[in-house]
Amino acid sequence: MTLPIEYLVWGALALSAFAFLFALWIGKIVRRRGADQESVDRRLNAIEQIVRQLSRANDPILNDIQEIRTGSLAVGRRLGLLEQRLSDLVDQQPTVDDLEPQRRIYSRAVRMVELGADIDEIMQECELPRAEAELIVNLHTKN
């Protein structure tokens, strides 16, 4: 089971903080007891080694964070492009006012069918193609 990246980062930070506090604690003990320089050097070397190990343990986590950051930036750019395309498409959509003349033509054609006009009359009066006139006649003819 894999842990979320946040847990790994917080764990690494906690270990780093622990190592720092541990180093402070050791320094305090050394000063209190008056230990010799060699003992201090050994302890500092041990602490430096722990810090290096923690840094190496954090490298994969930092790489993962960088990959996630790069991916999210790419997704953000892609989302911006999609929003722009959507805005362009919305601008290209006809408005209700643009469709009003067309709606009037179809309403007139329906009225003509109700009054008994045939396909040729509808095509001529409404300037509709034959297929549209036939469709209107078929939909609105009362059987």
Residues 96-107 pLDDT 10s = 566 566 778 888
Q: pLDDT digit string (tens) for 29-51?
A: 666 655 566 666 777 788 888 77
Mean pLDDT of the chain: 79
How high is the pLDDT of residue 34?
Answer: 58
| Tally of domains in the chain | 2
Q: How does residue 131 score in pLDDT terms, banded at 50, 70 and 90? A: very high
Element containing residue 141 per DSSP (H, E): none
Which domain range does residue 20 map to?
5-92
- In angstroms and rounded to an integer, the radius of gyration of the C-alpha atoms of the chain is 39
What local confidence, expressed as pLDDT, does residue 3 receive? 60
* 114 & 44 share domain: no
Q: Note whether 106 and 87 are same-domain residues.
A: no
- Quick one: 67 and 109 in the same domain? no
